[in-house]
């Protein structure tokens, strides 16, 4: 979001899901799409099977979509800026860049061209491990295609260079003219079903709803008038990854956590546990007693999606309506009712009687939602923002007539290595991700008997040659250690990972891999480097 907002003025998926399979070329990177976004993956497979679309997969692991790919670029983890710069170098060298689009819609091309000049295919091969001829072929494929769709997820963002990685993909899309048109675009696939909606509603430390900066006087006035507030915060707050150190330093005395399980999901999670033990007052609002909720002074029982009305905004910016299927179970309440009652007890006159009333207030303070109503969503089956007025049809793809900030900003980005690389003491590189059978920290999916039957325990993927050197056999128990902690897990020997690299998922509380991961942060977005850390593996 930080990267796209800086270069386009908007930090969301530019195009629609249905656009993807109409592209001439699809480049996916940092997304195991089949396991994490299976419906979108089916569209990609259909497009390739029809013979009209060429697929490029850039991933250090042999993920499922490699089987459909025309090109598989197997980069070393953490080298994304280098291979993207290499593609741009060759596109410019071969005169395949879109000169008209660059002249009319972009600024900064000369500085970008100067930066990527040194990223020859041969140099990129030395940094990334991708053969130079593959870099040339993929660059020529993208440069000559009419429409290319770029897809990525957390394999691109969860690095200390995450914002740089996103800006680099945006650079590649802009110099090839693949923004602001049907079946093109820069398309981040959001990790959960309402991540986009949460961000739209201002669940970020620097914006009100609709990405209106808290420092913007007009946004301040709009929100104050609707909310009846005399003052509102006008300074950027902390991200979650900044809060843990702040607790340990005594700067935060209390915390209210809703629907989040940082004891499992945050990096260097032993520090998270230490912080939650220390904090003066902790409230957790959730549907189960999670690992995080066990640290709480007060647990408030929220409801599941099936027990409440409201809207979800999905990865393509589509606002969709959800209706309750059952009444709230036990003593649980919809989250909005809990928040409203606490606000009332604290002296704020909040008196909504339904989620639709709340949504109508959202429309008043959020220009990109202004034209969306419950009645329209029911009739039209979901509306994509921005939708500025009641007669607007919604926006299937962004930036058709121009970027929100005027011209798109081409940003020279230099390759920087990961914060931590393997050495003699920790000779293997660990990367993490998800599997199809479990969801995030397993709060819900680990309680499902059938899913636990399909995937009952975590596995550490190890290359056969590494397994042989470590004396490991299939199914052995191993201890994995980093500079921050250790876990025990079972070994799976496979060539889906490269030699010198290991992979596991973070769904399993009995092997909490985020005790190992690095809490080094991207300086702009403050996102942790989950995807690269140095470890050693020992047979138990």
pLDDT digits (tens, 9 = 90+) for 420-457: 999 999 999 999 988 888 888 878 878 889 988 888 88
Q: Are residues 258 and 169 in the same domain?
A: no
State the residue for tokens 């080298």.
Answer: 79
92: domain CATH number is 3.40.228.10
Q: Are residues 316 and 182 in the same domain?
A: no
506: domain CATH number is 2.40.40.20
- Indicate whether 1 pLDDT > 80: no
Cis peptide before 386 (omega within 30 of 0): yes
Average pLDDT (173-198) is 94
Residue-level pLDDT at 441: 80
Q: 286 pairs with which residues across the strands? A: 301
Q: Are residues 136 and 42 in the same domain?
A: yes
Look up the domain containing 438 and give its range.
428-539
Q: Is residue 124 part of a domain?
A: yes
Q: Are residues 249 and 348 in the same domain?
A: yes
Asked whether 307 and 332 are in contact (CB, 8 A), the reply is yes
Residue-level pLDDT at 504: 92
Q: Is residue 413 part of a domain?
A: no
CA distances in angstroms from 276 to 203, 254, 281, 347, 509, listed in the order given: 21, 10, 9, 28, 17
Residue-level pLDDT at 495: 95
Asked whether 173 and 150 are in contact (CB, 8 A), the reply is yes
Q: Are residues 286 and 432 in the same domain?
A: no
Q: Length of the chain, please?
A: 540
Q: Is residue 156 part of a domain?
A: yes
Residue-level pLDDT at 438: 80
Neighbours of 205 (CB within 10 A): 16
| Last residue of one domain, picked from the residues 143, 173, 189 | 189
Average pLDDT (221-235) is 92
pLDDT digits (tens, 9 = 90+) for 463-502: 999 999 999 999 999 999 999 999 999 999 999 999 999 9
Q: Is residue 399 part of a domain?
A: no
Alpha-carbon distance of 422 to 502, in angstroms, equals 12
| Last residue of one domain, picked from the residues 159, 189, 219 | 189
Q: Is residue 398 part of a domain?
A: no
Q: Are residues 24 and 158 in the same domain?
A: yes
Q: Is residue 397 part of a domain?
A: no
> In whole angstroms, what separates CA 152 from the centre of its chain?
8
Q: Is residue 390 part of a domain?
A: no
Q: Are residues 246 and 319 in the same domain?
A: yes
Q: Are residues 199 and 185 in the same domain?
A: no
Q: Are residues 185 and 302 in the same domain?
A: no
pLDDT digits (tens, 9 = 90+) for 231-258: 999 999 999 889 999 999 999 999 999 9
What is the average pLDDT score of the chain?
93
pLDDT digits (tens, 9 = 90+) for 382-412: 999 999 999 999 999 999 988 888 899 999 9
Q: Are residues 146 and 173 in the same domain?
A: yes
pLDDT digits (tens, 9 = 90+) for 267-314: 888 889 999 999 999 999 999 999 999 999 999 999 999 999 999 999
Place 10 in a pLDDT band, splitting at 50, 70 and 90.
confident
Residue-level pLDDT at 519: 86
249: domain CATH number is 3.40.50.740
Asked whether 491 and 459 are in contact (CB, 8 A), the reply is yes
Residue-level pLDDT at 443: 82
Asked whether 296 and 284 are in contact (CB, 8 A), the reply is yes
CA distances in angstroms from 259 to 441, 443, 519, listed in the order given: 11, 10, 21
| Last residue of one domain, picked from the residues 141, 173, 189 | 189
Q: Is residue 277 part of a domain?
A: yes
Q: Are residues 185 and 201 in the same domain?
A: no
Structural domain count, the chain: 3
Q: Are residues 55 and 103 in the same domain?
A: yes
Average pLDDT (320-343) is 95
- Indicate whether 140 pLDDT > 90: yes
- 200-214, 358-372, 504-518, range with the lowest pLDDT: 504-518
């Amino acid at each position: 979001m930080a990267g796209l907002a800086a270069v386009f003025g908007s930090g969301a998926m530019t195009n629609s899901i249905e656009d993807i399979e109409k592209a001439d070329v699809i480049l996916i990177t940092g997304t195991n799409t089949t396991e994490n976004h299976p419906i979108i993956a089916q569209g990609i497979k259909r497009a390739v099977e029809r013979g009209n679309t060429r697929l490029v997969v850039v991933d250090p692991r042999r993920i499922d979509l490699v089987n459909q790919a025309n090109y598989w670029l197997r980069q070393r983890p953490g080298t994304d800026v280098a291979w993207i710069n290499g593609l741009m170098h060759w596109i410019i060298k071969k005169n395949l860049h879109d000169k008209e689009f660059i002249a009319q819609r972009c600024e900064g091309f000369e500085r970008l061209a100067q930066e990527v000049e040194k990223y020859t295919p041969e140099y990129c091969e030395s940094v990334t491990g991708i053969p130079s001829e593959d870099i040339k072929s993929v660059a020529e494929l993208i440069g000559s295609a009419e429409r290319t769709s770029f897809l990525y997820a957390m394999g691109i963002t969860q690095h200390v260079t995450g914002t740089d990685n996103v800006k680099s993909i945006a650079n590649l899309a802009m110099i090839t003219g693949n923004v602001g048109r049907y079946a093109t675009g820069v398309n981040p696939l959001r990790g959960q079903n309402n991540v986009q909606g949460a961000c739209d509603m201002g669940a970020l430390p620097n914006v009100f709803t609709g990405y209106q900066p808290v420092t913007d006087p007009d946004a301040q006035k709009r929100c104050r008038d609707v909310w009846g507030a005399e003052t509102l915060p006008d300074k950027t707050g902390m991200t979650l990854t900044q809060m843990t150190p702040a607790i340990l330093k005594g700067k935060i005395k209390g915390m209210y956590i809703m629907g989040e399980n940082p004891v499992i999901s945050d990096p260097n999670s032993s520090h998270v546990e230490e912080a939650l033990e220390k904090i003066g007052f902790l409230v957790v609002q959730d549907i189960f007693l999670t690992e995080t909720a066990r640290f709480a002074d007060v647990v408030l029982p929220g409801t599941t999606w099936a027990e409440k009305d409201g809207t979800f905004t999905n990865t393509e910016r589509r606002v969709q309506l959800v209706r309750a299927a059952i009444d709230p179970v036990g003593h649980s309440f919809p989250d909005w009712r809990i928040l409203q009652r606490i606000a009332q007890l604290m002296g704020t006159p909040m008196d909504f009687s339904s989620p639709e009333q709340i949504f109508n207030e959202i429309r008043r303070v959020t220009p990109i939602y202004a034209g969306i109503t419950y009645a329209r969503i029911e009739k039209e089956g979901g509306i994509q923002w921005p939708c500025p007025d009641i007669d607007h049809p919604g926006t299937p793809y962004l930036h058709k007539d121009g970027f929100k900030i005027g011209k798109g900003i081409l940003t020279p980005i230099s390759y920087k290595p990961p914060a931590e690389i393997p050495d003699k003491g920790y000779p293997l590189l660990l990367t993490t991700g998800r599997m199809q059978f479990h969801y995030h920290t397993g709060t819900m999916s680990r309680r499902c008997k059938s899913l636990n039957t399909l995937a009952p325990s975590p596995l550490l993927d190890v290359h056969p040659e590494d397994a042989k050197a470590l004396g490991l056999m299939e199914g052995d128990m191993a201890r994995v250690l980093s500079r921050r902690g250790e876990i025990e897990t079972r070994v799976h020997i496979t060539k889906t990972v490269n030699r010198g690299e290991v992979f596991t998922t973070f769904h399993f509380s009995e092997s909490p891999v985020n005790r190992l991961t690095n809490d080094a942060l991207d300086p702009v977005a403050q996102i942790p480097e989950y995807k690269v850390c140095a470890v050693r593996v020992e047979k138990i």
